[in-house]
Structure 1
Amino acid sequence: MQGLRQRPHAKVLIIGGGINGVGTFRDLALQGVDVALVERGDYCQGASGASSHMIHGGIRYLENGEFRLVRESVVERNRLLRIAPHYVKPLQTTIPIFSTFSGLMSAPLRFLTHKQQGKPKERGAFLIKLGLTMYDSFSRDGGSVPRHRFVGRKRALAELPLLHPGIKYAATYFDASVHNPERLTLDVLQDGERAGTVNGTAPGSATARASNYLSADSGAGVSNTGTGSIVRLRDELTGEVFDFTADVIVNATGAWVDLTNQALGASSTFMGGTKGSHIVLDHPGLLDACKGREIFFEHTDGRIVLIYPMGDRVLVGTTDVDADMSGDAVCTDEEIDYFLDLIGHVFPTLSVQREQIVYTFSGVRPLPRHEATQPGFVSRDYRIERHTGARTPGEGAAVVLSLVGGKWTTFRALAEHMTDDVLAELGMDRKISTAKLAIGGGAGFPADEAGVQKWIKANMSAGRDADRTAALLTRYGTRAEAVISYLDAGQDRLLRSTRELSVRELEFMAGHEQVGHLVDVLIRRTSLAFKGLVTGELLNEIADVLAGPLGWDTAAKAAEIHRAQEVLERYHRVQIHSLVA
C-alpha cells in the first residue's frame, strides 16, 4: 500500500483482486508495463474464492453451444496441470446415469432457446456419450488426462457400491481440481510483483505494485489531467484517501463491474450475475462413498451438481440463482435442503445431517446480463468492453476496459487477451508468453510421489517432522523452501491450538502475504476455516502472534477476534465459542 501512496501513478490501474485481475497484473508486469492493482477486500475474497474449486473444460457448456469456450477451457485445464502442479491436480469424475435415451427430444430445444421447457428431461446415456466423445476430441492436442469410459450398472456398483441401485450406467472421465484457489491467486500475484521489481530497493521503485484493502472511492469518479486519469483510492484499514493516476483502467471487479463503472463515471449495464452456494461436510461415510472421485450429475430439477472429496472433507455444490446485489451472498436454509436432497438422490442409504456441515460459502458469478435466459444457460464465456470515463472540459476521456464474464479455468488465457488489449492502448508489443511459464511454487515441483517424498526428506529438520514438512509443501509448493529458510532463521514452535501452523509461519504470512485481518489467515492463507478447525483458542492464539508484526494493541486485537467471529458466522455458518472476554 505504501508503494502506491509514495508513487501515485501507473500506466495501468487494475481494480479487482480476483483471479482474473491478478492474472492480468502478472501478465502486464511480465511485459514490463508499469502496473498497479487495488482490491477493496482481500485477494480472492469474492467469486474467485467461492468457486467449486474445479479446473475443468465445462462439458455442460456444450449444450449451450459454447464450443470455443470448451475448447479453450480444456486446453487451459491441461496447461494448468503442467504450470501449476502444486495446486491443480487431476480429478477422476463419475456421472451416474439413470436412462438410455432420455432427453433426446428436449436437448435440441434447450440448445436453440437456452430455456428449459416444462419438466426437465434428464440426460440419458446416449446424450452423455455424445458429449463426452466431443469433450475428448478437444483434448487431442496436448491432452494429459485419459479419455472417458462407460460401464454398465453391475460394474458401476462394484466400483461405487453406495450409488443409487437404480442407475443403468456410469461414465467416468477426468477433469482437474484446485484445492487452494486462494493460495494459487497469491502465487500469481507474487509472480507479478517479482516481475516488476527493478534494481534497488527504494520505496515505490517497483513497476508492479498491488494492495488489498484499497478501494476506488465511490464518490470520486474519474477526471483527466496531463498525467493520466485520476482515481481516488481509499485505504479500508485506516480510512486514508489519496488520488492515483493511470493512463488505462482495467475494471476486473466481477459481478460489481457496473457498480465500479458507475463510481468511475462510466456507467454501464453489462452484468447479470448469479449466486452459487456450497457446503463442506465432515462425513467419513460420504467421503468413503466417493472413493476419491467427483460425483457429477444432473439433479431432479435439471441443475448439474457435484459431490467430491477435498482432503478429509466433502464439498457439495452448487446452486445457480439470480443474485440480489443489494444483499450478502450467503448459503440459505433452502439451499442446504437442496444439497441434502441431492446427496440422497445418488447415495440413498447415507444419512447426512446439518450438524455435519462444517463450512458454507457463496459467491456471485460475474456473468453477463441475461434478461430472460435461465441462469443455468447463461454464457460462461467472457468479453472485454472498451469504454470511456467521465470527461473533463478540454480533456480527453479515460479509457476503461471492463471484463464481463470469466471463469477460473481460463484465467491465464483471459489475462493474455486483456493484456494484449492494454498493450494496444499503450502502443506496446508483447515480450513474453505465459503459456508455458510455471506459476509460483509450481516451478520445479516434484513430478511424482517419489519426488515428493524425496523433497520432504531433504527439507525435514530436528524440529520439523515429515507431516509438518509435507504440509508446507502442500501449502506453498516449492515456495516452501523460502518459508522454511525463514522458519529456520529463528526460534519457532507450533501453535498450541493446531499443528497446522507455527509462530514464525504466521509472522512470515504477516510480513510477506499482505495479511490485513485475522480472518484472512483463517480463510485465505490457510484452509483452517474450510475444514471446520477454527476454535476460540485458535482465534486468540493467532491474534496474539499477529499483533506484533501488524501493530495491533489490545483493543485492536479484540476487535479482530470479534470481526473474525462475525465473518465466519454471517457468511459461512461457523459459530465460534470461548472467545476473549
Structure 2
Amino acid sequence: MSAPTAPSEPAPALAVDVLIVGGGINGCGIARDLAGRGVRVLLCEQDDLAAHTSSASSKLIHGGLRYLEYGELRLVRKALAEREVLMRMAPHLIEPLRFVMPHDAAMRPAWMIRTGLWLYDHLARRAWLPASQALDLARDPAGALLQPQWRQGFAYADGWTDDARLVVLNALDAAQRGAQVRTRTRCERLQRHGAGWIATLTDAAGQPLTVQARVVVNAAGPWAERLLRERAGLPPRRHLRLVRGSHIVVPRLPGHTDAYLLQARDRRVVFVLPFEQRFSLIGTTDVEHTDDPGQASIAPEEIDYLCREVNRYLRTPIAANDVVWHYSGVRPLLDDGGDAAAVTRDYRLELDTVDGAALLTVWGGKITTYRTLAREAVQRLQPVLGLARVDDWTAHTPLPGGDMDRVVGPCATPMAARQRLLQHLRARWPWLDAATAARWVRAYGTLVLPWLQDARGAHDLGREVAPGLYEVELQHGVEHEWVHSADDVLWRRSKLGLHLTPRATAAVQDWLQRHGRATLG
C-alpha cells in the first residue's frame, strides 16, 4: 500500500507525535491514553465532540447479552470485565441498572435464557453487580409495567452512562495531560512526508493549519473508510457497513424504575430505559444506512417498529404521537455480509506503515470497550513511538470529577461515593436547588467544587440563564469543554434540552453568542 508523496513545502506550523482524526469515544480515549504517557497529541474533530455516533447510543455499559447468541464470547467477556472498571473510573457518570427480561417462550426457551445468564454472570469477575435471578412478575414490582400475561421473567445487572459526557471527560483529561483538542476542525488532506505525515486541517472559520505528525490515527468512525480513500489516497483493506440505530423518548411510563430488555418478534431485542427522571428511552433499530452519516434521522417506520414491539409487553401502550424526542446514530460495523442485527460489534485495529509512515485505523467498536481499544491502540503504536512498557494506567485513574474519595473518603462502592458527594453538597451549600445539585454530581462529580467554593448563595453562580442552568456552568463549558452552541450544552454536555422551552433554549444561544463562542447547530 502506498500514499502520495507531499511536494516540497515550508516547515509545518505545528509538529506532534500523533494526529488523531475523530472526536468520538475511541478517538478521545486514545488521546487520553497517549497523552498520559507523555506523547504529543493533537486531536481534530470536524464537528463537536461526540456529535454523531458516540452521543447516539443506548447509553449502556454492558456486556451485550444478545451477542452470546451470535457466539461473540470474546467480545462479551471483554465488555463484562470493563463494566466495573469504568464504574470505578467515572462513578459520577456510570451507575448500575437492573434489567428485567419478560420470558417469551415462543422466542427462546427458558433453558436458553438461564444458560445465557449463567455465562453472563461468570464470564468476568463482579465486585458490585448482583447475579441474575428468575422473577415471578405477578409478584415482583417490575411486573406492574407489563401486561398481566407476562408472568415469568429474569433479572440481571448492567450499567448506564451519559455517553456524550463520557467522551467529553476523556477529551478533558487528555487536554489536562497536554493533548491539543480542536473541535470543528476538519482534516482535509493527509500526505506522506518522510517517515511521517503532513496533514492539512481547516477550522470553522476556514483558517488552514498544517500539522506534521509521526503517526496518524484514523478514528473517524463512520467516515473511517472515506478518510483513507479521499483524504489519504489509500485504498481501504476493509469495508464498513453503516447501520443506523434510532431511539425514541416518551414521557415516563407509569412505575418505570427498572430497565427492560424485550424480545422482539424478529428475534432482536428492544430496551426500555428510565431516562432523565421524567422520561423513558426506547431503542434501538438496525437499519442499513446509505446516506451521509452526519445526517442520520429516524424514519417513520422505525418509530412504528419500536412502538409496535414494546406494546406487546407494556400495560400502557405508546404511539408515535407520544414521542417527545428521537435521535439516530450510524454505527460503523465491519462488513461481514450477514444480517445487520448480527454484525459484530467488536473492533479491529489495522496498522499500516506506508513507506515508514504509520497510520492506525480503528474499525468498529462499542462504547463499553473503548478503554481497552485505546490501550490496544497504544500497544500497536509502542514500537513506532518508542514507548516504554505499556501499562494499564487508565484502569486505575479516575476521569475528571471521579476522584470522589478525595472529598468524601473511602467508600465501599462507587455508587456510595456518588451518594456521599451529593450529601456533602447539600450539607455544605444547603441553598443549592436539590435537582441542580443532583444533576451536577451526575455530570461533573468533583469538578463542581471550585464553582461552589466561595459561593454563599445562588447569586454567586451568575445569572440563571435557563431553569437550573447558571452562568458558572456555561462558563465552564466554554473554557474547558469546547462548548460553542446551545446544542453542545443542551443535548451533549447535558440533556437539558428535553426539559426547556424554546424561549429558554434561545436564551442559552443568546448567552453564548454574546460571550463570543456561539455557532449554529
- In structure 2, the CA distance between the partners of 1:240 and 1:486, relative to structure 1 (3 Å rule), is farther
Distance of 1:153 and 1:482 partners within structure 2: 47
- The residue type equivalent to 2:368 in the other structure is T
Q: How far off is 1:68 after superposition?
A: 1.1
SS in 2 for 1:9: strand
Q: How far off is 1:492 after superposition?
A: 3.8
Aligned to 1:567: none
- In structure 2, the CA distance between the partners of 1:424 and 1:482, relative to structure 1 (3 Å rule), is farther
Single out whichever of 19-28 and 474-483 deviates more from structure 2.
474-483
Q: Determine if contact 1:459/1:469 at 8 Å carries over to the other structure.
A: no
Q: How does 1:153-552 map to 2 (within 5 A)?
A: 154-156=138-140, 159-178=142-161, 180-196=162-178, 208-217=179-188, 220-225=189-194, 228-235=196-203, 237-262=204-229, 263-268=231-236, 269-283=238-252, 286-288=253-255, 290=256, 292-310=257-275, 311-326=277-292, 328-347=295-314, 349-371=315-337, 373-388=338-353, 396-430=355-389, 432=391, 433-444=393-404, 447=411, 448=416, 451-460=420-429, 464-485=432-453, 491-495=460-464, 498-529=466-497, 531=498, 533-550=499-516
| Identity value in percent | 31
Q: Determine if contact 1:257/1:270 at 8 Å carries over to the other structure.
A: no
> RMSD over aligned Cα, in angstroms?
2.3
- The residue type equivalent to 2:447 in the other structure is R
- In structure 2, the CA distance between the partners of 1:416 and 1:172, relative to structure 1 (3 Å rule), is same
Distance of 1:539 and 1:482 partners within structure 2: 26
Distance of 2:59 and 2:17 partners within structure 1: 33
TM-score after normalising by structure 1? 0.81
- The residue type equivalent to 1:188 in the other structure is N
Q: How far off is 1:35 after superposition?
A: 1.1
Q: Determine if contact 1:287/1:309 at 8 Å carries over to the other structure.
A: no
- In structure 2, the CA distance between the partners of 1:527 and 1:265, relative to structure 1 (3 Å rule), is same
Q: How far off is 1:342 after superposition?
A: 1.7
Q: How does 1:125-140 map to 2 (within 5 A)?
A: 125-139=110-124
- In structure 2, the CA distance between the partners of 1:165 and 1:458, relative to structure 1 (3 Å rule), is closer
| Residue of structure 2 aligned with 1:11, choices 2, 8, 17 | 17
SS in 2 for 1:441: coil
Q: Determine if contact 1:320/1:376 at 8 Å carries over to the other structure.
A: yes
Residues 533-575 of structure 1 show CA distances to partners (whole Å, capped at 9, x for unaligned) of 34331133112321233266xxxxxxx5xx44xxxxxxxxxxx
| Residue of structure 1 aligned with 2:54, choices 43, 48, 56 | 48
- The residue type equivalent to 1:309 in the other structure is P
Aligned to 2:63: 57
SS in 2 for 1:244: strand
Q: List alignment gaps of at least 5 residues for structure 1.
A: 103-121, 197-207, 390-395, 553-559, 565-581
Q: Determine if contact 1:486/1:508 at 8 Å carries over to the other structure.
A: no
Runs of 4+ off more than 4 Å: 485-491
Q: Determine if contact 2:12/2:212 at 8 Å carries over to the other structure.
A: no
Q: How far off is 1:377 after superposition?
A: 1.1
Single out whichever of 431-440 and 269-278 deviates more from structure 2.
431-440
Q: Does 2:40 match 1:34?
A: yes
Distance of 1:22 and 1:459 partners within structure 2: 34
Q: Determine if contact 1:296/1:305 at 8 Å carries over to the other structure.
A: yes
- The residue type equivalent to 1:195 in the other structure is R
- In structure 2, the CA distance between the partners of 1:302 and 1:423, relative to structure 1 (3 Å rule), is same
Q: How does 1:136-155 map to 2 (within 5 A)?
A: 136-139=121-124, 141-152=125-136, 154-155=138-139
- In structure 2, the CA distance between the partners of 1:427 and 1:453, relative to structure 1 (3 Å rule), is closer
- The residue type equivalent to 1:136 in the other structure is D
Single out whichever of 313-322 and 467-476 deviates more from structure 2.
467-476
Q: How far off is 1:443 after superposition?
A: 1.1
- In structure 2, the CA distance between the partners of 1:46 and 1:551, relative to structure 1 (3 Å rule), is closer
- In structure 2, the CA distance between the partners of 1:459 and 1:411, relative to structure 1 (3 Å rule), is farther
Distance of 1:487 and 1:399 partners within structure 2: 50
Distance of 1:424 and 1:477 partners within structure 2: 37
- Give 1 or 2: higher strand fraction: 2
Q: How far off is 1:7 after superposition?
A: 5.4
Q: Determine if contact 2:451/2:461 at 8 Å carries over to the other structure.
A: no
SS in 2 for 1:435: helix
- The residue type equivalent to 2:359 in the other structure is V
Q: Determine if contact 1:24/1:416 at 8 Å carries over to the other structure.
A: yes
Q: How far off is 1:487 after superposition?
A: 7.0
Distance of 2:126 and 2:120 partners within structure 1: 14
| Residue of structure 2 aligned with 1:67, choices 63, 73, 89 | 73
Q: Determine if contact 1:297/1:306 at 8 Å carries over to the other structure.
A: yes
- In structure 2, the CA distance between the partners of 1:487 and 1:431, relative to structure 1 (3 Å rule), is farther
